[in-house]
């Protein structure tokens, strides 16, 4: 069996709403181990819905519809499905009663258009909707010489759809034997290495079949998803672990965490385990590094605070940066990053001090100091303060340069904590 998700609604074609239903159902199908190769979106149009159904039944044996179950004339899903299979609709008295009761409970009277929501193709079961007036259907249609067809319909309202899926569809599918073989994944996360360089380094694991390994690139990081199919989560983890370990051994420090672990949570854990604290001195990031460092609850254990030294006078007065050096080297320089890191470490009495100074753009760049040039200072306990220069790309947007600067700074601290 394989499933296909079919989302119905002209509002999806017009871009009025984001298709979060499809995303949710895709995750759920993956968790149950139900293969799923196609998703389709089509508008509120009988002929085109028929066309999509005829394509889907030739390649999938479970059709999951969302949308088009409302009371208005453009809600056509049930009608389109019934007419495609030449099956008459019949009104279910229990649905009518349920809709009436729901209206009554909020002091309203059911309108005649809501009666339409009680129509179900002959032979189909009702898929109850505890939260709204539009129930769905579960319909098994036997087919000659092949697997029977399963059809499920859900309203487009995400909360109703999710509740119906969990309450009725999942137990139904488990009863049919699905979700026995589950798919469990671990997401390994990397920084400081490109997707292509990572893929070349760990090429050998891409040929595995269980677990499989697939790469993803996103803002400032690359990820490898290691997915195993097994009878239980523990069995899946047993398949995943050795492969994940092999990858980590090959890649080294560019691996920073897995699944929900973020750069800030990893740095936080490292600081906490060593009973160390950090403070930040930010120029171009304007507070972004502090904001990331305090994402996680409990960050007050290792984060003391910081100075947002946007104005040069603040660098001098609060961070004890030398004003002659500011004149001579400019605020975006190795010397100033060095002094900012030392200054904030001293004033906040922290173990580590991180500074960021750079040109986030789009203006302010020069030939010698182009947009994207960033200096990061790291003052550490007992040893010499480190300054690193980065060129984050002069074509990049201000917001991206600022974000990458903050992550780069956090990553510098992470690598120091791990290798010290």
Closest separation between CB of residue 273 and its own copies, Å?
19
Q: Which is nearer to its own copies, 8 or 139 (CB)?
A: 8
Q: What tokens does 242 get?
A: 């050795």
- Residue 218: CB minimum distance to its own copies, A: 8
| Beta carbon of residue 400, minimum distance to its own copies (angstroms, whole number) | 8
Coil, strand or helix at 420: coil
Distances (CA, A) of 179 to 22, 26, 159, 199, 213: 19, 14, 23, 31, 21
Tell the smallest beta-carbon distance from residue 92 to its own copies (Å): 18
| Nearer residue to its own copies within complex by CB, 121 or 192 | 192
Compute the least distance from the CB of residue 244 to its own copies, in Å: 17
Min separation Cβ 392 and its own copies, Å: 7
Which residue, 15 or 177, is less far from its own copies as judged by CB? 15
**Integer Cα distance of 305 and 258 in angstroms:** 27
Total Cβ atoms within 10 A of residue 265? 15
Q: What is the DSSP string of 240-289?
A: HHHHHHHHHHHHGGGEEEETT--HHHHHHHHHHHTT--EEEEESTTTTHH
Least gap, CB of 123 to its own copies (angstroms): 27
**Residues forming a β-bridge with 391:** 373
Q: Which is nearer to its own copies, 1 or 131 (CB)?
A: 131
Q: Taking the alpha carbons of 33, 35, 38, 39 in that order, is the dihedral positive or negative?
A: negative
> What 3 state SS string does 139-208 have?
EEEEECCEEEEEEEEECCCHHHHHHHHHHHHHHHHHHCCCCCCEEEEEEEEECCCCHHHHHHHCHHHHHC
Pick between residue 150 and residue 262 the one whose CB is nearest to its own copies: 262
Provide, rounded to whole angstroms, the least separation between the CB of residue 235 and its own copies: 19
CA quadruple 57, 62, 63, 69: dihedral positive or negative? positive
Of the candidates 282, 265, 276, 274, the one whose C-alpha atom is nearest the C-alpha of residue 302 is 276
Q: Of the two residues 122 and 391, which places its CB atom closer to its own copies in the complex?
A: 391
Nearer to its own copies, 402 or 414 (CB): 402
Q: Is 129 helix (H, G, I), strand (E, B) or coil?
A: coil
Q: How far is the CB of 272 from its own copies (least distance, A)?
A: 15
Q: How far apart are CA 376 and CA 352, in angstroms?
A: 13
Residue appearing with tokens 């998803």:
225
DSSP state, 178?
A: T
* C-beta of 116 vs 414, nearer to its own copies: 116
* Biggest CA pair distance of the chain: 87
Contact (CB, 8 A) for 340 and 319: yes
Q: At what angle do helices 398-419 and 263-273 cross, to 10 degrees?
A: 30
Nearer to its own copies, 216 or 323 (CB): 216
């Amino acid at each position: 069996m394989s499933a296909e998700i079919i989302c119905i609604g002209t509002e999806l074609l017009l871009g009025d709403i984001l298709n979060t239903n499809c995303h949710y159902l895709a995750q759920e199908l993956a968790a149950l181990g139900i293969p799923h190769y196609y998703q389709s979106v089509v508008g509120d149009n009988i002929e085109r819905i028929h066309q999509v159904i005829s394509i889907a039944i030739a390649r999938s044996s479970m059709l999951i519809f969302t949308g088009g179950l409302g009371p208005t004339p453009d809600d056509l899903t049930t009608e389109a499905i019934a007419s495609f299979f030449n099956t008459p609709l019949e009104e279910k008295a229990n649905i009518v009663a349920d809709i009436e009761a729901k209206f009554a409970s909020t002091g309203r009277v059911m309108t005649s258009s809501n009666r339409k929501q009680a129509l179900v193709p002959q032979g189909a079961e009702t898929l109850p909707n505890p939260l709204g007036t539009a129930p769905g259907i579960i319909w098994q249609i036997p087919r000659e010489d092949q697997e029977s067809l399963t059809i499920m319909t859900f309203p487009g309202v995400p909360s109703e759809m999710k509740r119906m899926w969990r309450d009725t569809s999942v137990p139904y599918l488990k009863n049919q034997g699905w979700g026995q073989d589950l798919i469990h994944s671990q997401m390994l996360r990397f920084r400081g290495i490109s997707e292509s360089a990572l893929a070349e380094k760990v090429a050998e694991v891409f040929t595995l079949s269980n677990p499989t390994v697939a790469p993803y690139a996103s803002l400032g990081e690359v990820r490898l998803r290691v997915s195993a199919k097994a009878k239980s989560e523990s069995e899946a983890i047993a398949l995943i672990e050795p492969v994940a370990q092999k990858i980590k051994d090959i890649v080294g420090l560019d691996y920073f965490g897995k699944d929900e672990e973020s750069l800030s949570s990893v740095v936080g854990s490292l600081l906490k385990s060593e009973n160390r604290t950090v403070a930040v001195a930010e120029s171009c990031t304007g507070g972004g590094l502090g904001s990331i460092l305090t994402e996680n609850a409990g960050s007050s254990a290792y984060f003391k605070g910081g100075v947002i030294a946007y104005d040069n006078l603040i660098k001098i007065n609060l961070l004890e940066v030398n004003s002659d050096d500011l004149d001579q080297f400019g605020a975006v320089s190795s010397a100033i990053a060095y002094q900012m890191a030392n200054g904030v470490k001293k004033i906040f009495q922290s173990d580590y001090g991180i500074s960021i100074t750079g040109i986030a753009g789009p203006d302010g760049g020069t030939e010698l100091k182009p947009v994207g040039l960033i200096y990061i200072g790291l003052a550490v306990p007992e040893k010499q303060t480190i300054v690193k220069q980065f060129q984050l790309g002069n074509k990049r947007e201000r917001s991206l340069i600022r974000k990458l600067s903050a992550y780069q700074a956090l990553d510098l601290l992470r690598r120091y904590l791990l290798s010290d």
